[in-house]
A and B are shown apart, each in its own frame.
Chain A
Amino acid sequence: MRHMAILVDANTHVLVQGITGRQGAFHTRAMLRYGTRVEAGVTPGKGGQSVEGVPVYDSVEEALANHPSINTSLIMVPAAYAADAVYEALDNGIKLVVIITEHVPVHDTLKFVRYASLQGARVIGPNCPGVITPGAAKVGIMPGHIFKQGGVGIVSRSGTLTYEIAYAVTLKGLGQSTCVGIGGDPVVGMDFIEVLEMFRKDPGTEAVVLIGEIGGDMEERAAAYIRETNYPKPVVAYIAGRTAPPEKRMGHAGAIISMGAGDAESKVKALTAAGVYVASTPSEVAEKLSKLQGYSKINR
């Protein structure tokens, strides 16, 4: 088993905040089955119970006192309480907080993202599927069986579309180093550039897949970063929403072409100009990667 990877690996010890909820319990079981070290859970008022054999505490402080190895928190509490859960994790010194919760008010996110950066902590999400390093740890809600250990790093604003593309990569006989779902909200913690920078330094990542969608300019900024840094690893992209009409929110709070900005065409153009191959279907991403892999192997 590989021991080093970006964000989560075999040394990741997870706390699940909101573990007693229907989704919290379901995905705790799935993470345990995958081999993730889920050490403890927190639900205020439910301390003393257990979920799938994982002990539940009333507070993060108590959980950490009993399980000092915890270094990552997964937030699965309802949107109205998500911000409080994030602060509780950060105030107790947890340096990686992954927020699955959807519909978190954007002013809450602005605040805790800023707070985390002042604490030197990382926030992933909200409204994201989490992070998986195949064969090592799954901190999130993605179906584990479609992933396979390998050299393709995936960073994405989408959840299910990531599974689609990751599975296509797996079916091509390739695998993933780490997949990071950064979330579909207008404001999120880690962005494309931060994850690209981690993949750049990660010896386990040979190529990167960037999955974007309409709304904002995160893809354009990633394109500028790739061009300016002369990014050393091949990047293949897919952009969802080529058929989306303007001024309509397409499901994700962040997916909206607004005031003439944020359309797919602009993103495809910026990425292409930066030397990124932009695939027109999810399966084409995997096809392109398998050709790249072949090329790099021949040259090794």
Chain B
Amino acid sequence: MLGSSIKGERVQSVIVTPFTEIARELYLGFIVDRARRRPVMIASGEGGVDIEALAKMSPGNVLKLDVDPLTGLRDYQVRRAVGFMRLRDKAAEEAVKTLKSLYRLFTEMDCELAEINPLALTPEQRLVALDSKIILDDNALFRHREFTRPSSGSGLEEEARRLGFSAVELDGDIGIIGNGAGLTMATMDMVKLKGGSPANFLDVGGGAAEEVVDKAARLLLTHPRVKVLFVNILGGITRCDEVARGLVSAYKAVGHGKRVVVRLMGTNEEEGKKILRENGLLPYDSMEEAAEVAAGLAR
């Protein structure tokens, strides 16, 4: 098994554990529930399954309890979950400990999800965690230096992450740079609507400075599949003059043979447009018009 590949992930290590005889499989988990704006505890007497599917099919078999993030998991909630999973005596005592520890892990390690699935009940009434899954909050990694991020994703995504912005690689030929996730997605959607095919999603984020834009533009201008670079910037916290300087610098260095379409609007717009014009790049006012031009150039 070592060195083989499962679902695209290379197996780097294998845990060997004693065979566990299973009397019953359970599910225990904590998630950050976006809609309820609370941590939610999920427990079920049926483990080893897709818990969301089970919750939809037979909601009576899944217990969901809101946890107050300020006061934490209460003992009565723990008792309720243990009773719901039909655990008694020694197994109940172990479940209390497990639930409290899992909640501690969930909060102290800043998890978006912490689940044990399945949690096995042995014929001897012992609980054994057979498998588990944890999703960490990227935004909290600054206070968890103990975690290192495994490298994953395509070359472009990896490189973009190292440079400090978020990118997703797609299979088209029009490179996309936008500021703000919503506008960048809308830019992709618009390019597609105009008959073009986006090569990527790249959000330079709020307040991107000259060197950030420069790096982002270089990354896409040197990408072998990118024929046209479409930059769509609406300045709020981002300043158009800085964007323009970054773009010009990247274009002069590595832009040979590539077409660049720029839409620039917002904070320090006039200065940004002036910088672009002085360096042979034509700024557009309308996102729709710019997307049409970009799609046309790629054809």
Inter-chain contact A251/B69, CB cutoff 8 Å? no
Residues of B contacting A113 in the complex (Cβ-Cβ under 8 angstroms): 37
Q: Please provide the chain A residues from 156 to 214 with a CB less than 8 Å away from any CB of chain B in the complex.
A: 156-164, 167, 184, 186-187, 211, 213-214
Give the contact stretch, choosing among B12-20, B89-97, B200-208. B200-208
Residues of A contacting B32 in the complex (Cβ-Cβ under 8 angstroms): 106-107, 110, 186-187
Determine whether B168 belongs to the interface, using a CB cutoff of 8 Å to chain A.
yes
* Distance, CA A238 to CA B185, complexed state (A): 12
> B177-188, CB under 8 A of A: which get 1 and which 0?
011111111101
Question: Are A80 and B142 also in contact (CB < 8 A) when A184-B182, A213-B182 are?
Answer: yes
Determine whether B49 belongs to the interface, using a CB cutoff of 8 Å to chain A.
no
Closest to B286 in A: A283
Inter-chain contact B70/A115, CB cutoff 8 Å? yes
B135 to chain A, nearest CB (A): 10
Question: Are A216 and B34 also in contact (CB < 8 A) when A143-B236, A159-B180, A160-B182 are?
Answer: yes
* Distance, CA A211 to CA B267, complexed state (A): 22
Determine whether B101 belongs to the interface, using a CB cutoff of 8 Å to chain A.
no
Inter-chain contact B182/A158, CB cutoff 8 Å? yes
Determine whether B78 belongs to the interface, using a CB cutoff of 8 Å to chain A.
no
Determine whether A280 belongs to the interface, using a CB cutoff of 8 Å to chain B.
yes
Closest to B170 in A: A245
Q: How many residues on the B side are at the interface (Cβ–Cβ under 8 A)?
A: 53
* Distance, CA A174 to CA B190, complexed state (A): 23
Candidates A27, A104, A163; contact of B234 at CB < 8 Å: A163
Interface residues of A (CB under 8 A from B): 23, 27, 30, 79-80, 100, 102-107, 110-111, 113-115, 118, 129, 141-143, 146, 156-164, 167, 184, 186-187, 211, 213-214, 216-218, 221, 238, 240-245, 248-255, 259, 280-283
Can you list 30 A-B contacts (CB < 8 A)? A27-B237, A100-B237, A105-B137, A107-B32, A111-B69, A113-B37, A114-B38, A141-B206, A142-B236, A143-B267, A146-B265, A158-B182, A158-B183, A164-B186, A186-B32, A217-B35, A242-B192, A243-B192, A244-B188, A248-B168, A249-B166, A250-B184, A250-B203, A251-B166, A251-B180, A252-B181, A253-B138, A281-B193, A283-B287, A283-B288
Interface residues of B (CB under 8 A from A): 32, 34-35, 37-39, 52, 68-70, 107, 110, 112, 137-140, 142-143, 166, 168, 170, 178-186, 188-190, 192-193, 198, 201, 203, 205-207, 234-238, 265-267, 286-288
12 extra interface residue pairs, beta carbon distance < 8 Å, beyond A158-B180, A160-B183: A23-B237, A80-B142, A103-B139, A118-B70, A159-B236, A163-B234, A164-B287, A167-B265, A240-B185, A244-B185, A250-B181, A282-B287
Closest 8 CB pairs between A and B?
A158-B182, A251-B181, A160-B180, A161-B182, A251-B203, A105-B140, A160-B183, A252-B181
